Amino acid sequence: MKRTLGVCYYPEHWSEEIWATDAKRMVETGLTWVRIGEFAWSRMEPAPEKFEWDWLDRAIEVLGSAGLKIILGTPTATPPRWMLDKYPDMLAYDAEGRARKFGSRRHYCFSHQAYRAEARRITKLMAERYGASPHLAAWQTDNEYDCHDTAISYSHHALIAFQDWCAQRYQSPTALNAAWGNVFWSMEYDDFSQLELPNQTVTEANPSHVLAFRRFSSDQVVLFNQAQCDEIRKYSTAPIIHNFMGRITSFDHYDVGADLDISSWDSYPMGFLLDRVGANDTDKAHYLRQGDPDFQAFHHDLYRATSAGRCWVMEQQPGPVNWAPWNPAPLPGMPRLWAWEAFAHGAETVCYFRWRQAPFAQEQMHAGLLLPDSTPAPALAEAAQVASELESMPDVGCARASVALVFDYDSAYAWETQPQGADFDYFQLVFDCYRALRRAGLSIDIVSKDVDPAAYKLTFAPGLLTVPDSLAGGVVIAGPRTGSKTEEFHIPAGLAPEISGLQTKVTYVESLPPFAPMPIAGGGAFEKWRESIETNDTIILRLMDGSPAAVRANDLIYLAGWPNPNLWHRILLELASEISLTVLDLPRGLRVRDTDTHRFWFNYGPSVTTYGSMTLTPAGVYWEEL
Amino acid sequence: MKRTLGVCYYPEHWSEEIWATDAKRMVETGLTWVRIGEFAWSRMEPAPEKFEWDWLDRAIEVLGSAGLKIILGTPTATPPRWMLDKYPDMLAYDAEGRARKFGSRRHYCFSHQAYRAEARRITKLMAERYGASPHLAAWQTDNEYDCHDTAISYSHHALIAFQDWCAQRYQSPTALNAAWGNVFWSMEYDDFSQLELPNQTVTEANPSHVLAFRRFSSDQVVLFNQAQCDEIRKYSTAPIIHNFMGRITSFDHYDVGADLDISSWDSYPMGFLLDRVGANDTDKAHYLRQGDPDFQAFHHDLYRATSAGRCWVMEQQPGPVNWAPWNPAPLPGMPRLWAWEAFAHGAETVCYFRWRQAPFAQEQMHAGLLLPDSTPAPALAEAAQVASELESMPDVGCARASVALVFDYDSAYAWETQPQGADFDYFQLVFDCYRALRRAGLSIDIVSKDVDPAAYKLTFAPGLLTVPDSLAGGVVIAGPRTGSKTEEFHIPAGLAPEISGLQTKVTYVESLPPFAPMPIAGGGAFEKWRESIETNDTIILRLMDGSPAAVRANDLIYLAGWPNPNLWHRILLELASEISLTVLDLPRGLRVRDTDTHRFWFNYGPSVTTYGSMTLTPAGVYWEEL
Amino acid sequence: MKRTLGVCYYPEHWSEEIWATDAKRMVETGLTWVRIGEFAWSRMEPAPEKFEWDWLDRAIEVLGSAGLKIILGTPTATPPRWMLDKYPDMLAYDAEGRARKFGSRRHYCFSHQAYRAEARRITKLMAERYGASPHLAAWQTDNEYDCHDTAISYSHHALIAFQDWCAQRYQSPTALNAAWGNVFWSMEYDDFSQLELPNQTVTEANPSHVLAFRRFSSDQVVLFNQAQCDEIRKYSTAPIIHNFMGRITSFDHYDVGADLDISSWDSYPMGFLLDRVGANDTDKAHYLRQGDPDFQAFHHDLYRATSAGRCWVMEQQPGPVNWAPWNPAPLPGMPRLWAWEAFAHGAETVCYFRWRQAPFAQEQMHAGLLLPDSTPAPALAEAAQVASELESMPDVGCARASVALVFDYDSAYAWETQPQGADFDYFQLVFDCYRALRRAGLSIDIVSKDVDPAAYKLTFAPGLLTVPDSLAGGVVIAGPRTGSKTEEFHIPAGLAPEISGLQTKVTYVESLPPFAPMPIAGGGAFEKWRESIETNDTIILRLMDGSPAAVRANDLIYLAGWPNPNLWHRILLELASEISLTVLDLPRGLRVRDTDTHRFWFNYGPSVTTYGSMTLTPAGVYWEEL
């Protein structure tokens, strides 16, 4: 498959006189796609029902006739100021009960029915007008759901919708009381109208209550997105895309992704490095201008799964951004490397954000491919290089993987609700496993819990809340905490882990402070979490005192703790020999990814790396045919 | 006196079919007491004035007839949801002015008169119904006053009650203005109705205002508890108990304790270790699975004082809990050791919390004596062992002590109100002294400031806000900050310290950051706090520059600073030789406690400890007759 | 010019019987001035329009007839409680939308028109009554504008006033939308009444919006102060003073200072050391009892500029204070040294705060010249010593400086609004430069951006938001970030830096985390901030990779980064030789300051320092005629 590049562009920010030149330069750079429109509601509809489409008509015509394919975004992330006059109660509320006011973006509550109807209305108008345009090649719904923590709202509208959601799910207060165990602390309800949102309780709310609210909140995002998809599909056959973000666990991306044709995400490797993957200062310094070597790969693999295999990068960082605590510049070559890493993981298209750096408003310190004075920024040449390289390489192949790793949003909600240890974080647990697999040179599919393990040599499911019976038929590595609760967040009647085929039971768990890891006999250690188990299965790892640390029943392995990096590697090595899996031990910063046609190598380190006969410069990318 | 064990049980959580088996196993384990009822209001009165007592009748009958003594708790810590419909304004408010909502527990304001009446009503009904039951052997009022910081509320009801409290105390706005020094910054009031609660002021409120509010808040807890005691005593002669918590200074436990027959507390050694006694990481790692070696002892000694000598542990940690930042498991043997430490300090009864781990709701990760599937958890055998040991030991003797240590809630309010140094904490100051005494192998009585020092070899009163004339007649060690304010929080007219018999005056004080302790000539240092003094008393310690650091006037010693551990030990050693007090220097983790019949030794260390001819394993307990 | 001492006094706090003795002792100590009245509104006007002036008449008479000059403060920082009954909406609101309640001080919103009128009314009454008094020698308006973060309020009154301010400034919503770039994210307004304050937006508000609000907030302080000055000048010719604070960037002190005759400030060296200049722990310990050696000097130089050269210290710390995280006592001699440092920087008068330590209310732990029992506190003798030294030294000369350093409040607002790096702080940037100049033994004028560089050998303007054309004609050192935005916070059309005469353009910037400084070839480094530049100017410094780090065009130097201390010193040394400026390298803690008659030396170190033939004890002051 031919991979392509694109860019994000805001014609409404610039004099119409330069649109044509911009379009021409985009094409000359080798870009195929241009995304427009997603923040321009106040220019499309400056007053209620007063429309100004002509400028957008012309922008699409200028860009399209220059040879660019248009991705048109619905502008629902930025309702105009007049919308607030119409619906003063449309705002989201934070957990402290404060309205989240107008003056930036995403100032709406997903549960506000009238605003959802407004979003559907503007989407319908755009779809009607542009759905048949020859230039219109894709749609984007809204922009970055949950950005600025907006998926979860504690508004009055959210409350009413939650009461209704509970009524639908549980049918009676008695059933809800039983499902949540409300007899505990006399928390029983007589009527759904008595239900409140689980914020501002005296101490922690019932975890079943919180979990229900998290599922409800996710469903509201799904419904909001669905309304737009429904309208678009009435008028257009172009694929529908949403641009997800990294490390977001506030809604179920599989559920939203199911309504899309393509999942995309916005990849900002450097901002995430410093505050979102718990790197230590040494790693932060080492990767300061390159970003974490596994973070982008993880999300490419994740979002390849959420819309049945089709994925993009909708926004690719081109230079320093404006929103991280510190914002250094990428090492020269990284904007190219990041794009190639995306393609190697199956991305069809990578769009750089943004064409020209805006000289005003919130993001004026966010780099683009051009400087505000239209001269080239450093990334422009890198984009052109990628375009030229793609030109000479008709197919980079499809991503393929021999190991699978389950990522499950319900599990994220559950452990955020009741972590039991201050640093028990589901994303981090799965990401630690992912990093170990990457370090071992493996290509990975991230999958939902509906995966068929028979399709892979190994399937990992750490921390999976509940385990379906279908999760069997291949080598499955479960634990810690896998299958430890019921759907409604009770301890299973037969105790954890509730995994078919296992004769092991957790008698108690320990969350471990950072200074108290528990070493494993033979090497490695548990950190953060350890389970005391009674077992009739084969014990394959033991703590230093001889108590069981991991067990095996046929193809099912259960880890009774959170492995540190050395233990993950040891487990992999031991399994690899059994199942004829080639496991590497890559030097720091070197990463590899296979497609069905090529093997790609990436150097995330700040200096030259050699590996076998290969030498990669910093930010170096190398590929070979398989 | 015969010491006993008990357990906390929630019949409403379990099928009635297993109650009898549970009761039988409790008795077989050697338990004497079972506490029930304290969170079951929604099951006793599912709707206003609609009662369902039958299940509770049967539970009491099943448990009682199995041979268990019942402790019946009033359920007022968990008003049912319908109570909120009746009194939507019954909630407490936090200092930021936010209502603390329904959905967990303790969702009431102590100043809400109508809710106080409801609490009295349900108490009366229970006392009427069960007061004469042969199985009913003790009462518990409410549950853990102040848990989740609920003693202090900034609700409208609290405001009205506070205005009235001030009117009663000061009689006129003019008198209040004078008492508080409101001329400062034009803070004078013309009418009690103008008074506000001291939260959300532009900068700190007048400390006299805050201190009054703290005293008022404590009085509200006293009144709430008193209402229940009054009702119970009309119908029952069984002792009334409340279960206090550790390290709580938000209300006066002496005042509440005066209305009780027995003070009890809920002892969770491991949760407290990690976040409540300022331990460093080395100590946290060393005592990770044992808890602080002095924290429980301190509270046993404290609560032995609050109800004239009668004390219990109402909830004893049996295994990992769910609420600390990290929750590891106790070292095997600790649930036994903790019980024995309690008995050695005079506790009559120790109840483990809880019988069976609940598989649902907030505390599902809190261990019990049984697992959720009714198989034994590790602590069950330890409880049985303690029961068996008690059986073979008819009397452990009464706690006895040669030294006294004053703990005073008013002083805690005062220094929390105006600490003057970021780490000046009254509890920590007293606890540091206590720890020094424990390390020296001394048995301690914690006492109110009404203590007669003649009854002890040494009486310590660090940080005591005001010093009564009765605090004389034995060797008294005062300071720092002792007697430094008047009752209404002014500097005394003759300057601090206002202690009869002392010719010493503080000219200024210094709060010291952690990196700036002040060494004492001859060894030890002041940390956190140091007072510059002028004195006509005998100087017994000097700073390195020769200025006085401690003085003595006959039997009265004044410390002009906060001693570090070495200085505390030095002071003790020097006094001990004078008054023939045997002072040990116990190895780390070893602790000793005397009763009038036995000496008990406890090993809190993680490894074997030898001392003289004695060898104690980790979690080891050893006793010898005196 | 003859320099004088004074003291702050509160006759309303003390029995009238001791006023005369107090006055006599003040005069005997050598004090010339006494400041009174600024918190006494509730005693001047105990009820609306019910006045009690007689006590103040007598206090002025007693103090004045003893020979003291009176500074009379308007009491508008402490409106009485009845004012709240009259205007319940007069309170300021914080950024979280919470009212800032009565019960301490400064409980008013600067935008509340009715309260501003009340402040004008009481000022007029005082000016009428005392304006012609022979004892009345100066006025103080209000007290410490912005203390406790009170300059910025998010009240409804602030909103209405802000909408009006915007209407005046921009004249039309269209113009405002263009000025702010509101097309970005559809933030466009149709009407000024739609504008909100820039708090509680979903993510950051438009920086142009925030900057406008900051300028508006500053203007409100100016108007509030102006109203009082206007009234006073109708009835009195005595100079009008306000007491500013240290490190305050919430309003423009030049603008307020323009309405005053004298700028004064309240100097508390020790409280500031620990929490306001980012000192490391080593420096905090080294200077614990002396305060930062440059902080006071900086503010003397700053406030000498804000009212055309006339400056005072209105409150001088005499001993331990009550408001810092820790409050140790000054090294003996520091209250004297601090006064001399002020005089050496041009202060006409230094008033110690306060005469007698108050034994009640919020500041009872704040030292005075007397203890609460009227015996001398340590600083009394030091004040007497300074008075005696002044007596024997008719003139200390006027402050003079060869280098200028621009400090600009607009720039502070701008970089607080959008720092781009977590530790980019304008005050710190300017202060780092100041410290480097002090370390080099230079005497400095702090100046507004309207300075004429021809008047100085060197003029520094780091971080200056916009650069006027007048900033030329001498050697000017600009950057980093100087001239990088337009007045409305856009990137200039020709890119940063917009400085006339420079052919250099910033292509991107990097904010650098603490672990990633960028070394400069030849010594020194950039920290926190670095700009990538393209230049046709002369490159005078380069990074290790050869890219330009500083450029020069004739007399204009531009630094493309934030120099660390070594780099600042290197830059100074290289310039000094060119322009014949004597640059010292002072040992740690030694500081020097010139007047036109004397050179003063100050030892801020905790031990004896020798320099050349000079030996200074700790807290030592030495002066020599020039």
Judged by CB atoms closer than 8 Å, whether chains meet at C359 and B201 is answered as no
Boundaries of domain holding A620: 590-625
* Nearest-angstrom CA–CA distance, C147 and C547: 45
Question: Does one domain contain both C39 and C102?
Answer: yes
Sign of CA dihedral A371, A373, A375, A380: positive
* Nearest-angstrom CA–CA distance, C154 and C91: 10
- pLDDT value of residue A397: 86
- pLDDT value of residue A393: 85
CA distance A325 to chain C (A): 5
The strand pairing partners of B518, in sequence order, are: B526
Residue C323 resides in a domain: yes
User: Which residues of A carry out catalysis?
Assistant: 144, 315
* Position A394 pLDDT exceeds 80: no
* Domains identified in chain C, total number: 3
- pLDDT value of residue B275: 64
Backbone angles phi, psi at B489, to 5 degrees: 70, 50
Tokens found for residue A313: 């990068």
State which of C337, C361, C391 marks the end of a domain. C391
Question: Does one domain contain both B240 and B364?
Answer: yes
* Nearest-angstrom CA–CA distance, C548 and C525: 13
Backbone angles phi, psi at A173, to 5 degrees: -60, -35
- pLDDT value of residue B89: 98
Tokens found for residue A286: 């080492």
Residues C140, C118 contacting (CB under 8 angstroms): no
State which of B391, B414, B435 marks the end of a domain. B391
CATH number, domain of C488, equals: 3.40.50.880
* Nearest-angstrom CA–CA distance, B434 and A443: 60
Tokens found for residue A351: 């769009």
Question: Does one domain contain both A92 and A167?
Answer: no
Q: Measured between CB atoms, which of A184, A205, A507 is closest to B358? A: A184
Of all helices (H) and strands (E), which one includes residue C411? helix C409-417
Lowest mean pLDDT among A231-235, A387-391, A394-398, C203-207: A394-398
* Nearest-angstrom CA–CA distance, B262 and B310: 5
Q: Is B454 exposed, middle or buried (0-12, 13-18, 19+ CB in 10 A)?
A: exposed
Residues B410, B452 contacting (CB under 8 angstroms): no
Tokens found for residue B243: 């279960």
Q: Residue range A423-446: average pLDDT?
A: 97
Tokens found for residue C26: 């003040």
> Please, what is the angle between helix B19-29 and helix B54-65, to 10°?
30
Q: Measured between CB atoms, which of C183, C507, C511 is closest to A371? A: C507
Question: Does one domain contain both A176 and A293?
Answer: no
Q: Residue range A84-97: average pLDDT?
A: 98
Q: pLDDT by residue (tens digit) across B78-95?
A: 999 999 999 999 999 999
* Position B545 pLDDT exceeds 70: yes
Residue B540 resides in a domain: yes
* Nearest-angstrom CA–CA distance, A124 and A105: 21
- pLDDT value of residue C395: 85
Judged by CB atoms closer than 8 Å, whether chains meet at A422 and B103 is answered as no
- pLDDT value of residue C208: 98
CA distance A15 to chain C (A): 12
Q: Residue range B507-523: average pLDDT?
A: 97
Residue B460 resides in a domain: yes
How confident is residue C468, by pLDDT bands cut at 50, 70 and 90?
very high
> Please, what is the angle between helix C207-235 and helix C156-170, to 10°?
100
Neighbour tally for A67: CB within 10 Å: 13
pTM of this structure: 0.97
| DSSP labels, C267-323 | E-HHHHHHHTS---HHHHHHTTTT--TTHHHHHHHHHHHHTTT-EEEEEE--S--SS
Residue C296 resides in a domain: yes
Residues B534, B504 contacting (CB under 8 angstroms): yes
* Nearest-angstrom CA–CA distance, C226 and C141: 9
Residues B451, B488 contacting (CB under 8 angstroms): no
Question: Does one domain contain both A373 and A512?
Answer: no
The residue among A605, A604, A68, A108 whose CA lies nearest residue A337 is A604
Mutation target to probe the C interface, by most C beta carbons within 10 A, among A43, A44, A321, A362 is A362
Nearest chain C residue to A42 by CA distance is C186
Question: Does one domain contain both A504 and A556?
Answer: yes
Tokens found for residue A228: 């737009």
Judged by CB atoms closer than 8 Å, whether chains meet at A103 and C418 is answered as no
Q: Measured between CB atoms, which of A106, A322, A365 is closest to C202? A: A106
Residue B585 resides in a domain: no
Residues of B in contact with A207 (CB under 8 A): 361-362, 364
CATH number, domain of C335, equals: 3.20.20.80
- pLDDT value of residue C274: 64
The residue among C95, C72, C71, C91 whose CA lies nearest residue C81 is C91
Lowest mean pLDDT among A389-393, B234-238, B565-569: A389-393
Q: pLDDT by residue (tens digit) across A20-56?
A: 999 999 999 999 999 999 999 999 999 999 999 999 9
Judged by CB atoms closer than 8 Å, whether chains meet at C188 and A322 is answered as no
Residue B574 resides in a domain: yes
Residues of C in contact with A365 (CB under 8 A): 418, 420, 509
**How many contacts (CB atoms, under 8 Å) link A and B?**
168
Question: Does one domain contain both B105 and B190?
Answer: no
Residues B569, B436 contacting (CB under 8 angstroms): yes
Q: pLDDT by residue (tens digit) across A350-360?
A: 999 999 999 99
Residues B447, B305 contacting (CB under 8 angstroms): yes
Residue with tokens 């007047």: C595
Percentage of chain A beyond pLDDT 70 is 99
CA distance B331 to chain A (A): 12
Q: State whether residue A502 is helix, strand or coil.
A: coil
Residue A543 is given by DSSP the state B
> Cα separations (Å) of B49 from B121, B127, B457, C176?
10, 16, 57, 63
* Nearest-angstrom CA–CA distance, A456 and A462: 16
- pLDDT value of residue B346: 97
Question: Does one domain contain both B239 and B125?
Answer: yes
Judged by CB atoms closer than 8 Å, whether chains meet at C360 and B208 is answered as yes
Q: Measured between CB atoms, which of C495, C507, C515 is closest to A285? A: C515
* Position A248 pLDDT exceeds 80: yes
The residue among C423, C532, C436 whose CA lies nearest residue C480 is C532
- Reported as half-sphere exposure (CB side, CA atoms, 13 A), residue A2 has a value of 9
* Position B279 pLDDT exceeds 80: no
Q: pLDDT by residue (tens digit) across C485-536?
A: 999 999 999 999 999 999 999 999 999 999 999 999 999 999 999 999 999 9
A254-285 CB burial, b ≥16 within 10 A, e <16: bbbbbbbbbbbbbbbbbbbbbebbebeeeebe
Residue C140 resides in a domain: yes
User: Which residues of B carry out catalysis?
Assistant: 144, 315
Judged by CB atoms closer than 8 Å, whether chains meet at C513 and A103 is answered as no
Question: Does one domain contain both C134 and C226?
Answer: yes
* Nearest-angstrom CA–CA distance, B286 and A522: 24
Between A272 and C206, whose confidence is greater? Answer: C206
* Position B278 pLDDT exceeds 80: no
Residues A567, A521 contacting (CB under 8 angstroms): no
- pLDDT value of residue A626: 87
Q: pLDDT by residue (tens digit) across B374-419?
A: 999 999 999 999 999 999 987 888 878 999 999 999 999 999 999 9
Judged by CB atoms closer than 8 Å, whether chains meet at B104 and A187 is answered as yes
The residue among C141, C77, C143, C140 whose CA lies nearest residue C108 is C77
Q: pLDDT by residue (tens digit) across C39-68?
A: 999 999 999 999 999 999 999 999 999 999
What residue type is assigned to position A33 of the chain? Answer: W
Question: Does one domain contain both A200 and A316?
Answer: no
- pLDDT value of residue C273: 73
Question: Does one domain contain both A269 and A192?
Answer: no
Q: Is A88 exposed, middle or buried (0-12, 13-18, 19+ CB in 10 A)?
A: exposed
> What is the 3 state secondary structure string of C537-561?
CEEEEEECCCCEEEEEECCEEEECE
Residues A406, A460 contacting (CB under 8 angstroms): yes
Tokens found for residue B314: 């109402």
What residue type is assigned to position C67 of the chain? Answer: G
Percentage of chain C beyond pLDDT 70 is 99
Q: pLDDT by residue (tens digit) across B15-68?
A: 999 999 999 999 999 999 999 999 999 999 999 999 999 999 999 999 999 999
**How many contacts (CB atoms, under 8 Å) link A and C?**
167
Mean pLDDT over each residue of chain C, to the nearest integer = 97
Residue A408 resides in a domain: yes
How confident is residue C275, by pLDDT bands cut at 50, 70 and 90?
low
Q: Measured between CB atoms, which of A183, A509, A532 is closest to B43? A: A183
- pLDDT value of residue A400: 86
Q: Measured between CB atoms, which of A40, A81, A322 is closest to C420? A: A322
Residue B583 is given by DSSP the state -
Judged by CB atoms closer than 8 Å, whether chains meet at C513 and A274 is answered as yes
Tokens found for residue B369: 């004596």
- pLDDT value of residue B276: 64
Residue with tokens 């600390």: B324
Judged by CB atoms closer than 8 Å, whether chains meet at A186 and B42 is answered as yes
- pLDDT value of residue A332: 97
* Nearest-angstrom CA–CA distance, C391 and C418: 51
- pLDDT value of residue C394: 72
* Position B272 pLDDT exceeds 80: no
Nearest chain B residue to C286 by CA distance is B516
The residue among C119, C153, C591, C622 whose CA lies nearest residue C127 is C119
Q: State whether residue A319 is helix, strand or coil.
A: coil
Question: Does one domain contain both C53 and C115?
Answer: yes
Report ipTM (2 d.p.): 0.97
Nearest chain B residue to C107 by CA distance is B202
Judged by CB atoms closer than 8 Å, whether chains meet at B509 and C363 is answered as no
- pLDDT value of residue A538: 98
Residues C497, C504 contacting (CB under 8 angstroms): yes
State which of C391, C411, C430 marks the end of a domain. C391
Residues of B in contact with C357 (CB under 8 A): 491
